[in-house]
Structure 1
Amino acid sequence: MERRHVQAYIEEVPRWSSGEGLAGPPLSSMQWLVWVLASAGKFFEGFIVFIGGIALPLVHEEFALNAAELGLLTAAPLFGILLGALVLGGLADRWGRKPVFIAEMLLLLLGLIGAAFSPSFALLLGCLLLVGVALGADYPTAHLVISESIPSAIRGRLVLGAFSFQALGALAATALGIGVLLLRPELQAWRSFYLYPVLPVALVAWGRLLLPESSHWLASRGDLRGAAQQLGLLLNRSDVELHPMESTAAAHGSWRELFQGRLLRATVLSSVPWFLQDISTYGIGIFTPVIIGAFFGTEMGGHSVSAVIYDDLLGAKGAAFVDLAFVAGIAVAIALADRWGRIPLQVLGFIGCAVGLTLAALGSGDGPWGQSLPLILAGFVVFQFMTNVGPNAQTYLLAGELFPTHLRGLGAGVAAAAGKVGAVLTAFLFPVLLAQWGTQRLLPLLVLSSLVGAAVTWIYRIETKGMDLGDAAHERP
């Protein structure tokens, strides 16, 4: 029997007795199960991040938090995501994709239960940090288990399809949050927000126990027999024999490799645009209160239970409005990623973000188009749509495709962590700069950051559309 490498088996197109082949390689039931369980992780991410935003005002009142404590509570999940992506992403290269894929759900389960029953601010802070670590780990691992299990021709669609479940999770969280607050208008309602996903998370953790280990990863460690066995389980076939050249047992990844030769180019392409994208995304957020006020009314303010819950409901409706732009943009990204390629969409998306920010800046200024809500709204919609067609989707997609197997988890984790560094920095620095400089001086810098993102993407471009990840496994810096 002819020996082939892992990806060749995944790409194989069955033929009828007449010799005519199918349009493309079919997916087995196990491949679909991998995709569903990875998509569930992205659903939980969207759900928990959004439900946490709805819970925050209630937590603020219950624990009587001061400004510093509120800032720490807001930053804890972000910092946890940074740590999880950076540390656990690298562990997926050492221990395997499957152990980390399972462990992150168990950490998430522990964090959610702890958060729901936290009697103090300190314990809640620690639990939300743990939740962030679990969600951060899912950034690289969800991508890896999908991309290393499916044909290259549809990799972009399926990875971004899983990524889009963030939006479904966010919409589900918004609906649940609004429903709970309407039925139980009390401060303690926030605890149930963290309990609702506990059973689904436990079921997904159990489901991930049933998945095979990545054959790409096993082969990269020199375990060809194990790789063939796990590939047979993935594809539901018993005739898998791998070519000896698939083995790269000497390849043990290190941080230094990410900053040498071709991999330095890949690291810059995956990390710098993600960092810049998160900065501009936070920047457009300054217009969210203006748009929410125009469509849904203004906040009541105050510390009474009714005022806090009214304002919280208002915020939830605004979050759902923003999320609709995510859905529209990511749908276009799914349709075009495997046709146009990652690089053109990311460049176009960054330029579109710059246009959206420019429109919003003109609408909020003092010139002839100043104080124009329609212009602000147009800029907001253009930005939200283009960032999800481009950098928000494509940075995630590229990060899991640019690196060889033995470094794929670490490389994707570093890229995701770079994005969260941008989010954390802007969360702390942006309010200060906004107060000192005002929108008219700050927004042009955000326009510039989007244009720099487009330039960096083009200068360091590596197109991964249709790339065989098995070939990437043998590339060394």
Structure 2
Amino acid sequence: MSNFNTNSTKVDFQQLSERRREALAKIDNAEFGWFHIRACLVAGVGFFTDAYDLFAINLVTPMLGIIYFSDGTLPPDLDLGIKVAASIGTFIGQIGFGYLADRLGRKRMYGVELMIIIVATLGQALSGNGYVLSLPAALIIWRVLVGIGIGGDYPLSAVITSEFATTNRRGAMMSAVFAMQGFGYLTTGVVAIILLAAFKDSIIANPQNLDYVWRILIGFGCIPALVAVYFRLTIPETPRYVLDIENNVNKAERDVANVLKESHNHLQSEEDEKAAHNPSTVKGSFSDFCIYFSRWENFKILFGTSMAWFALDVAFYGIGLNNSFILSSIKFSSIKGDNFSSCWNAAIGQIIIVLLGSVPGYWVTVFTIERLGRIKIQLIGFTMSCILFCVLGFAYNQIRNYSTALFVFLFAATQFFQNFGPNATTFVIPGEVFPTRYRSTCHGIAAGSGKLGAIIAQVGFSQLKDRGGPNNFIPQLLQIFALFMFVGLVVTFFIPETKGKTLEELSNENENGKSNPSQHRNNALSEEEEK
């Protein structure tokens, strides 16, 4: 009787494993359709909002200095606090939401982060000076909260897009979602120009009227988030989460059939629902996490993706949130000059840089990532960024004195090769290379490492840029950014190429979701039960 039960159980396991493979194969090999487009749009609107909220502050801080401080400049400590607050919140959100998405489910958490962004964005726009809490302090608190929401968007959008995508379009879909950041970044400049033009006469008459501009500029970030929140709350759970974490083959098959508009023929009874749970599937736990990453071939990937993102964000946010200072230093805009012209030129400069560098870089990645592969693009991006930062850093004064246009072009080129390069691939790869039960957690760890780089860059830029005189240390900072680009280039060799491989092939486990140590442990338990 015991032998019969054991053999019957083994047959059930084989059937469940076969059904699991069939469900995953349908997702991996599906025709690209409306559902995939919808998934990209729903996730992409979030990243549009993220970039808008993060980089709008680059144009807002000079306005705050003009409005609220007698010398027309925001004190360095307040400028740093306001800019770095969102990065601190983003770090918290990436780690926290990354873990919760693996623990509670992608669907349950998706949309929550967007609601946090909406509330915190409105809070920023409506902040005011008070007896207990000053305006800068209120902005810092609200920006920490908006950062938490933005941070949650990284692992959730990456993993949901990855787990719904087809194998041969997964990289393009994920990078298209991330590319919406470029449009968000661009829109900050466009909205600022429109607002400045609308309030031009009143600003020239009284610079205090810039208060209207920065509040509307910040508050506009709520609109795209409000559009997307309903669709995020109604998106289905990913089949891989249902299979590998909820461990429910029947539900996964129904979800796949619904997504692909196919009929589902398996039984729907409660008894069949119970029978569809495969006990050989490994559950996520702290001990299993340690076992999995105790193997060098797994740990080196987590280290490589995290360190590459860290190195990138030191430079990316070091320059991205300080464009106004860099443009001012080459006399393109002047923070201490005419108030209206200063804000206008800063917005125009941001638009030029984004149009020349960021937006093209993102979309070149989208259209080439499935042909060139992730690693080749990341290597190209780090190499070219390193070279360009060296040129700008070591020949800073010569280029600035020779031609402002040449400096802006080279500066934009660095952003092109960051976006046609590691800024996109460091987002894509961590959403592919880890097993389902740790995919979101590990993406959050890698992204959080990037935000640590952003925080260090912001603090370092603020403390060092005026060393030896106003904006005098910027050339040396650009040289430091070049060094970090070289570090990112080196650690890229720790990361495997993911092009054309299924998520299960990349997880470095067998088909039942077991790494080798876990396999030995479960085999031993099975042998004991058979005895």
Counterpart of 1:327 in structure 2 is: 359
Q: Which runs of 5+ in 2 are unaligned?
A: 1-14, 130-134, 204-208, 267-272, 518-531
Distance 2:237 2:146 in 1: 24
* 1:95 maps onto 2:104 in alignment: yes
Greater alpha carbon shift after TM alignment, 439-448 vs 423-432: 439-448
Distance 2:225 2:219 in 1: 10
Counterpart of 1:231 in structure 2 is: 256
Task: Write out aligned runs for 1:81-160 (5 A).
Answer: 81-120=90-129, 121=135, 122-160=137-175
Counterpart of 1:48 in structure 2 is: 53
Conserved 8 A contact 1:47-1:173: yes
- Residue from 421, 426, 435 that aligns with 2:457: 426
Task: Write out aligned runs for 1:339-418 (5 A).
Answer: 339-364=371-396, 371-373=401-403, 376-377=407-408, 379-418=410-449
Task: Write out aligned runs for 1:311-326 (5 A).
Answer: 311-324=342-355, 325-326=357-358
* 1:260 maps onto 2:294 in alignment: yes
* Alignment TM-score, normalising by the size of structure 2: 0.78
Determine what percentage of the aligned residue pairs are the same residue: 26
Give the CA deviation at 1:328. Answer: 1.6
Give the CA deviation at 1:301. Answer: 1.3
Give the CA deviation at 1:294. Answer: 9.6
* 1:195 maps onto 2:219 in alignment: yes
Query: Kindly tell me: are residues 427 and 247 of structure 1, through their superposed partners in 2, closer, same or farther at Cα, counting changes over 3 Å?
Result: farther
RMSD: 3.0
Report Cα offsets for 1:338-391 as digits up to 9, x if no partner. 11211111112111111111221342257xx89544764454243222211111
Which residue identity lines up with residue 9 of structure 1 in the other structure? K
Conserved 8 A contact 2:20-2:249: no
Give the CA deviation at 1:87. Answer: 0.8
Counterpart of 2:40 in structure 1 is: 35
Counterpart of 2:189 in structure 1 is: 174
State which structure, 1 or 2, has the greater radius of gyration over its C-alpha atoms: 2
Which residue identity lines up with residue 359 of structure 1 in the other structure? V
- Residue from 6, 19, 24 that aligns with 1:3: 19
Conserved 8 A contact 1:359-1:375: no
Greater alpha carbon shift after TM alignment, 83-92 vs 423-432: 423-432
Counterpart of 1:451 in structure 2 is: 486
Which residue identity lines up with residue 227 of structure 1 in the other structure? A
Counterpart of 1:278 in structure 2 is: 313
Query: Kindly tell me: are residues 247 and 407 of structure 1, through their superposed partners in 2, closer, same or farther at Cα, counting changes over 3 Å?
Result: farther
Which residue identity lines up with residue 69 of structure 1 in the other structure? L
Which residue identity lines up with residue 25 of structure 2 in the other structure? A
Give the CA deviation at 1:235. Answer: 1.7
Report Cα offsets for 1:70-114 as digits up to 9, x if no partner. 321111111111111111111110111112211011111111222
Instruction: Give the aligned length.
Output: 458
Give the CA deviation at 1:248. Answer: 6.3
* Alignment TM-score, normalising by the size of structure 1: 0.87
Counterpart of 2:88 in structure 1 is: 79
Distance 2:421 2:171 in 1: 13
Distance 1:375 1:287 in 2: 19
Distance 1:346 1:198 in 2: 33
* 1:469 maps onto 2:507 in alignment: no
Which residue identity lines up with residue 351 of structure 1 in the other structure? T
What is the SS of the residue equivalent to 1:27? coil
Report Cα offsets for 1:404-460 as digits up to 9, x if no partner. 1111111001111111111111111234345269456554443332222112112x1
Query: Kindly tell me: are residues 85 and 226 of structure 1, through their superposed partners in 2, closer, same or farther at Cα, counting changes over 3 Å?
Result: same
Report Cα offsets for 1:213-257 as digits up to 9, x if no partner. 111111112122332232222222232769979876532143646
Which residue identity lines up with residue 501 of structure 2 in the other structure? M
Q: Which runs of 5+ in 1 are unaligned?
A: 13-24
Conserved 8 A contact 2:120-2:145: yes
Distance 1:244 1:34 in 2: 28
Which residue identity lines up with residue 117 of structure 1 in the other structure? L
What is the SS of the residue equivalent to 1:201? helix
Distance 2:143 2:437 in 1: 31
Distance 1:258 1:179 in 2: 53
